[in-house]
Amino acid sequence: MLDQGAAPPATEPPAPKATGLSALTRRKPVDVLVAEGGQGEGGTLRRSLSMWQLTMISIGATLGTGIFVVLGDAVPKAGPAVTVAFVLAGLTALFSALSYAELAGTIPVAGSSYSYAYATMGELVAWICGWCLVLEYGVSVAAVAVGWGEYVNELLDGTIGVTIPAVLSSAPGEGGVFNLPALLVVLLAMVFLLGGARESARANTIMVVVKVAALILFCAVGFMGFKSGNYADFMPLGMAGVSAAGASLFFSYIGFDAASTAGEEAKNPQRDLPRAIMLSLIIVTALYVLVAAVAVGAWDWKQFEGSSAPLAAIMNDVSGQTFWGTLLAAGAVISIASVVLTVLYGQTRVLFAMSRDGLVPKVFGRIHQKSGAPRVNTIIVSLFCGVLAAAVPLSELVDATSIGTLFAFGLVNIAVVVLRRTRPDMPRTFKVPLGWLFPLLGFVFCVYNMFSLGAFTWAVFGVWMAVGLVFYFLYGMRRSRLATAEK
């Protein structure tokens, strides 16, 4: 529930000096996290974002490749029951969204779940969470950029009859050498972000309006080809298929937490962040289920196999002409670009918070005086994500992103329970209803979806975690601001 008159957080006593292995559990007090809000190397972030803009950031980061591209991978796994898979993934996101809303209103800082873990479970867990966020946001940008390139080709084919050659529009292993469109969209998003949060938010709002209009257009045209017989065998691959599709489709919900990374640039974060997170998730879930239901009604589920741009293809089939599919492709090009923009924004702000805490190099926390944005951070992250997008296949990226996100979301649900227990009297502008029940359900759903992912994805995740731990013990543990303050 929302509490409009919440007072500032009560003062938290300083943590005792950590020694030996206990240093791994040293916590950063909530009061310190909030007090440091906006402060960076050589400048401060600017509070310029309204609730509407925060909501658009969440929708912009969430609504995109998951429905425009990944649907083609999910339907063959679940059949017509892909709508149930969307609901399953949505429930997982909902429980976690409630936890995010409570913590975002209580600890409105740029680090998102990384900062929440730092305040509740200690530095090592916070590092692991932050490292997962690097996987979630960074790899998600790359995966979305790959999907953008596929719709660019669809648009070019429908307008001028040519496409970018596969050698320049596909990653190695998919018939290409270098995915140039994927790199270009990341660089375009970088240009917007270098101008500052306000300018990026305005551009994103326009793109979100376009993407919602494109999906409503698809539903209107696709419904004309709806065949109830396509739902005759509703769950051909059983619940196992629905679970597998749901785990992959969780990728479609990644991004609703992007608003929480704007905690230090929101005008009224305690009030607006919880509202933006919940409102964006409701809008996105409704659109996903509606579009999936229309898509499966218009096409037999087996037709989705191998389709990289299923919505545009469905519109072409139903209408008997390429105009509508081309129009949808144009909407997809704009809308997927907004996902790249907002998720890239989230990645830079998480690294900004980690840099301020000393866990990653200071360069990521350096603020440009004129724009009020972490410019060097933005350039480094954009170049990394752009090269990744140009060189790695989409199918491998999606599940790797999902497992990192599920892990981070699981920690957020635990953080709510821990903070309720350790700081029960702390004022909260939003509280998850029914006590600990929803956070615990959120944690269980996250674990369930993680174990629905394949062995290869787990292997990639294990390697990523191992690399992260090596970096922490060799660099972050010694350079942490909490560690240097103890000396």
User: Residue 5 has what pLDDT?
Assistant: 41
Class of 46-486 in CATH? mainly alpha
Query: How distant, in Å, are the alpha carbons of 75, 253, 273, 450 from that of 89?
Result: 14, 8, 22, 11
CB-CB contact of 172 with 330 (8 Å): no
Angle at which helices 113-120 and 123-133 cross, to 10°? 170
To which residue do tokens 């805490």 refer?
357
Is residue 325 within 8 A of residue 260, CB to CB? The reply is no
Under a CB-based contact definition with an 8 Å cutoff, are residues 154 and 323 in contact?
no
Q: What pLDDT is attached to residue 13?
A: 46
Cα–Cα distance measured from residue 91 to residue 275, given in angstroms and rounded to the nearest whole number: 18
- Closest listed residue to residue 85, CA positions, set 310, 285, 336: 285
pTM, to two decimals: 0.80
Please state, in angstroms and rounded to a whole number, the distance separating the CA atoms of residues 104 and 100. Answer: 6
What is the pLDDT at residue 466? Answer: 92
Using CB atoms within 10 Å of the CB of residue 148, give its burial: 0 to 12 exposed, 13 to 18 middle, 19+ buried. buried
What is the C-alpha to C-alpha distance for residues 265 and 108, in angstroms, rounded to an integer? 9
**Domain range annotation of the chain:** 46-486
Per-residue pLDDT of the chain (487 residues; tens, 9 = 90+): 444 444 444 445 444 454 445 566 777 777 777 777 656 666 666 677 788 888 888 888 888 766 776 777 788 888 888 888 888 888 878 888 888 888 888 887 777 788 888 888 888 888 988 888 887 787 778 877 877 877 788 788 778 877 888 777 776 766 767 888 888 889 988 988 888 777 788 888 888 888 888 888 888 888 888 888 888 888 888 888 888 887 777 767 777 777 777 777 788 887 888 888 888 888 888 888 898 889 888 888 888 776 667 787 888 888 777 787 788 778 878 888 888 888 888 888 888 888 888 888 888 878 877 767 788 899 998 998 888 888 876 565 666 777 888 888 888 899 999 888 888 877 778 888 887 888 998 898 888 878 877 788 888 888 888 998 999 888 888 888 777 765 5
Longest Cα–Cα distance of the chain, Å, equals 72
